[in-house]
Amino acid sequence: MTFDGKNDFMLKIEHIGIAVKDLEASNKLFGQLLGSPHYKVESVASENVDTSFFQIGASKIELLHATNAESAIAKFIDKKGEGIHHIAFAVEDIEKEVERLKNEGFQAISDKPKPGADNKLVFFFHPKSTNGVLIELCQEMK
């Protein structure tokens, strides 16, 4: 595909995911930083993670806290420490966008989109194919 400067695929940055060791302390810290409290805490059992969301204009901050030592978030923190874990982009049609990016050579982490936090279908692309940044695609579940 030739890049023509138009973006007909990604709607916006949906959220930035931040891995944290202590969700309660991080909710307080980000509440102070952003001037408003988190609006939702949600567990995603399939990922062994608790999440907390802050709304910032049209985008969000998602705090990610591991619920066990074997979760991807726990391993991330052990290796890199707390910090930015991923950038998520909202898309209209996640199946179509996953296929497009796979065809462009981006390395998928799973086979198909799956339910995630905040009523979204999610899909991840490996940081090895995206300049070291874990990329998440999100589509509102209908």
What value, to the nearest 5°, has the Cα angle with vertex 93 and ends 88 and 94? Answer: 50
Does the pLDDT value for residue 124 go beyond 60? yes
| pLDDT for residue 25 | 98
Question: Can you list the alpha helix ranges (DSSP code H) found in the chain?
Answer: 23-34, 72-80, 94-103
- The secondary structure of 54-120 as a DSSP string is EEETTEEEEEEEESSTTSHHHHHHHHH-SEEEEEEEEES-HHHHHHHHHHTT--BSSSS-EE-STTE
Whether the pLDDT of residue 6 is over 70: the answer is no
pLDDT tens by residue, 15-33? 999 999 999 999 999 999 9
Rounded average pLDDT over 3-18: 78
Check: CB of residue 69 under 8 Å from CB of residue 5.
no
* pTM exceeding 0.75: yes
Place of tokens 């985008």: 59
What's the confidence (pLDDT) of residue 142?
82
Q: How many CB atoms lie within 10 A of CB 102?
A: 13
Confidence of residue 7 (pLDDT cuts 50, 70, 90): low
- Answer yes or no: is pLDDT of 39 > 90: yes
| Per-residue pLDDT tens over the stretch 58-117 | 999 999 999 999 999 999 999 999 999 999 999 999 999 999 999 999 999 999 999 999
Instruction: Band the pLDDT of 10: cuts 50, 70, 90.
Output: confident
Q: What is the token pair recorded at 128? A: 């090895």
